Amino acid sequence: MSSRTRVGEVGASWVRPVTSGSGEQWVAAVWVRDLDGRRRLFKARRPGRHEAEVVLGERLARRRALGFRGAEPNMTVQELGEYWMRRRLEEARAPTTEGARGRAAMMAPPRGV
């Protein structure tokens, strides 16, 4: 069995004392593997060990997983394919003026000519 943190999961947290100019503080930290597959380190630094752990827990509770687009890590290949097709259709139907502005700007004669 691998010790690698799975996509969308939080690893084991750790707490250690650190010395700073203002005296001893505690850092609580944990690695999180977001839905985009990247690992991100979350940290909280406070004067007390328990305070650092509490703040870290609060930050994890408030965090929004990066890479989230509506697909879930437990989706089957078929569900993911259907989700992807729905997204492509929605994007194709979405009205946009960016393309028209871009083409018009490209076709306009250069200034000063």
The domain that holds 51 is classified in CATH as 3.30.160
Collapsing DSSP states into helix, strand and coil, what is residue 103?
Answer: helix
| One domain for residues 81 and 54 | no
Q: Check whether residue 79 and residue 102 sit in a common domain.
A: yes
Structure-token pair, residue 11: 């690893």
User: For the chain, what is the domain count?
Assistant: 2
Domain that holds residue 86: 75-108
Q: How far apart are CA 33 and CA 68, in angstroms?
A: 12
> Tens digits of per-residue pLDDT, 48-63?
999 999 999 999 888 8
β-pair partners for 10: 32
**81 lies in the same domain as 104:** yes
- My answer on whether 1 and 41 are in the same domain is yes
Q: Average the pLDDT over 16-20 and give the result.
A: 88
Q: What is the pTM of this model?
A: 0.55
Bridge partners (DSSP) listed for residue 17 = 26
In a domain, 55, yes or no: yes
Specify the pLDDT at position 90.
83
Residue 113, domain member (yes or no)? no
The yes-or-no verdict on residue 106 having pLDDT over 70 is no
Q: Name the nearest CA neighbour of 41 among 50, 33, 31, 51.
A: 31
In this structure, are 11 and 58 located in the same domain? yes
The pLDDT confidence band at residue 102, using thresholds 50, 70 and 90, is low
62, 80: one domain: no
Asked whether residue 43 falls in the same domain as residue 90, the answer is no
pLDDT at 77: 87
Confidence of residue 89 (pLDDT cuts 50, 70, 90): confident
Instruction: Assess whether 47 and 93 both reside in one domain.
Output: no
Residue 49 lies in a domain: yes
Residue 25 · residue 18 · CB < 8 Å? yes
Dihedral Cα 74, 80, 86, 88, nearest 10 deg: 120
